[in-house]
Chain A
Amino acid sequence: MVAVLYHLKKFFDIVPIFSHNQIKAKLEYRGALLIDSLFYILGYGTQFIILYLITDKFDAIGGWRQYEVLLLYSMTILTYTIACTLLRGPSSQLPEKIKEGHFDQSLIKPIHPLAYEIAASFSGYFLIHDILGIIFVSYSLYMLHVEMNLIKFIFLVCTILGGAMIQGGVLLLFAAVSFYILGENPLTYGFFIALRQLSESPVTIFPRIIQYLVTFIIPFAFICFYPSQYLLGKNDFLMFHPIVQFLPLPIGVIVLSVGCMVWSHGINRYQSSGN
């Protein structure tokens, strides 16, 4: 317990320092930063627009109407950006660091490597992506005329936290494979992005085997498909019990814990490629 508190204190001490340095480094190329931020907004916005155009033309996907589908996409993006804001370092950047031998640096710091990786890659600059996600979700909820009360709001916050934990946990799990195998990690970032699409659309349109996959193996259906039904008053739980709509947070805690454990255990298998 004392060791955990020690690492936590260290973590919160170094986060502002790293974040400050990251922003300073970004501001070195101000023109590029401005254009980059603008393109990020337009890039995510374009995906939103394409989905808007498809649902506008076809009216619904698998019985889910235009703004219901857009809510699924928005929730997926918001939870993904939150997960990435915090876990970019130990997930998407990890395979390259291991390949180049740069991960050695994390092992010689007086703090747990996972905490160091999170702190070192954290940048306030990435909060702009989260704000974009919040705008998408708010807009979709507004267009759906969802009446928000305190319980629904708390449920929404818990769902977003759970969804971020699920995506973060899976990102960590996939990245941790790089510790165990030499050479290319088969569970690349591209794989994650490909699978993430499963939570951007109603799960009902996929074959039963995929419905099981996103419920039990890679629980992406809990990011937004099941919980958004409580907010929208829908009753589309496939062959599962309606309780699934209330499970994103516990599932998120489990997935993230497993991700952290596998990641931490993987360090023991790390073989430096030298530099």
Chain B
Amino acid sequence: MKVKKKLHLWYTLTATGLKTRTIYRASAWMASFWGMVTFLIQILIWRSLLGAGARFGTTFEEMLTYLMLTQIIVFLINSSAGLQIRALVRTGDISVYLLRPINLKTLLFFDDLGKNIFQAIVVTLPICAVLAAYFGVVLPQDPLVYLYVSIMLLNGMAMLFLYRYTLGLVSFWFVENPFIEWHFQNIESIFSGAVLPLWLCPAWLAALSQYLPFRYFTYEPLALFVGKSELSVANNILIHQYIWLAALFALERLVSTRAMRKLTLQGG
């Protein structure tokens, strides 16, 4: 009974997140469209760099598949938890949210999920499907790859949420939280392989990224998908993801506890 109630709550929260996106769908469509313009420009740059055939062991079709999936997955596992926490702390509305009988983290997670489903499946996927049909993509033959990639992406989603949520909690100390701005995300992007795949990066950068969580969000599963890493290392990647998940969870608990002690309400 308890499980059923919980599942219903999660479903309701996800549906509400989805509904907010459909209500402001004009804004969501526009944001996605301009995102697609950015993406298209990136594709043209890569086409110029890679041309026909392969350069540095990478064909244009492989790169396109990688970039397109990154685009869809980034939308699918995106999290605005940090931005939402900052807004709640700034306005003082955080007090209302903390009094609710639902855990703030659960609420934000399923709200993100609802928004992401709309963004990724309703908006981004059709545009990418058109681009894929035009340019052509590469797909793996082995069904095991699909299974591993799905599990890795679910782990990546949980990791990214915990990471963004923890960064959002910094707003309890710094109201003008700089960790959730574009410039900080830029710094992450160099280690995440989202803009420049890590297999094309210098060895020192790829080695450095091994000690950070970013490459395990989307890069590792998608590198496996386009055949840039072997199925034999998939279990090893999963182990790394679980270690990072545990570390991020522990960090989030620690920061959450301290943030509640630090709580200063603005306005009312």
Contacts and interface: CB of A to CB of B under 8 A. Distances in A.
A29 B175 contact: yes
B2 interface: no
Interface string B18-34: 00000000110011001
- Please report whether the interface of chain A is mostly helix, strand, loop or mixed according to DSSP: helix
B44 A205 contact: yes
Interface stretch (B93-101, B197-205, B210-218): B197-205
Contact of B30 (A39, A54, A188, A205): A188
A188 to B, nearest CB: 6
A46 B187 contact: yes
A34 B187 CA distance: 17
B48 A205 contact: yes
Interface in B98-114: none
A198 B40 CA distance: 11
A50 B190 contact: yes
Nearest to B188: A46
A46 B183 CA distance: 9
Interface stretch (A57-65, A78-86, A224-232): A57-65
Contacts of A35: 174, 178
A148 interface: no
- Please report whether the interface of chain B is mostly helix, strand, loop or mixed according to DSSP: helix
Contact of A36 (B55, B178, B190): B178
B176 A205 contact: no
B182 A43 contact: yes
A183 B34 CA distance: 18
Contact of A32 (B178, B195, B201): B178
A33 B176 CA distance: 8
Contacts of A206: 41, 44
Interface size class of A (residues with CB under 8 A): 35 or more
Interface string B36-58: 01100110110111000001100
B254 interface: no
A167 B82 CA distance: 31
B37 A39 contact: no
Contacts of B27: 184
Given A53-B205, A190-B34, A191-B34, A44 B44 contact: no
B176 A36 contact: yes
Contacts, number: 97
A201 B190 contact: no
A2 interface: no
A62 B183 CA distance: 28
Interface size class of B (residues with CB under 8 A): 35 or more
A49 interface: yes
A125 to B, nearest CB: 12
A193 interface: yes
B59 interface: no
A61 B45 contact: yes
A43 B186 contact: yes
A50 B186 CA distance: 10
A190 B31 CA distance: 7
A42 B183 contact: yes
B55 to A, nearest CB: 7
Interface in B211-240: none
Given A46-B186, A53-B202, A184-B27, A61 B34 contact: no
A250 interface: no
Contacts of B38: 193-194, 197
B129 to A, nearest CB: 20
B36 to A, nearest CB: 9
A40 interface: yes
Nearest to B31: A190
A197 B41 contact: yes
A261 interface: no
Contacts of A29: 174-176
Contacts of B195: 50
21 contacts: A32-B175, A35-B174, A36-B178, A39-B179, A39-B181, A43-B183, A44-B186, A50-B195, A53-B200, A54-B196, A58-B49, A61-B49, A183-B26, A190-B31, A191-B34, A195-B37, A197-B38, A197-B42, A205-B45, A205-B48, A207-B44
Report, nearest first, the 3 A-B pairs whose CB atoms are least far apart. A43-B183, A205-B48, A32-B176
Interface of B: 26-27, 30-31, 34-35, 37-38, 41-42, 44-45, 47-49, 55-56, 174-179, 181-184, 186-187, 189-190, 195-196, 200-202, 205
Given A42-B186, A61-B48, 17 more contacts: A32-B175, A32-B177, A32-B178, A35-B174, A39-B184, A39-B187, A42-B187, A43-B183, A46-B190, A54-B49, A57-B56, A57-B200, A58-B49, A61-B45, A193-B34, A206-B41, A210-B44
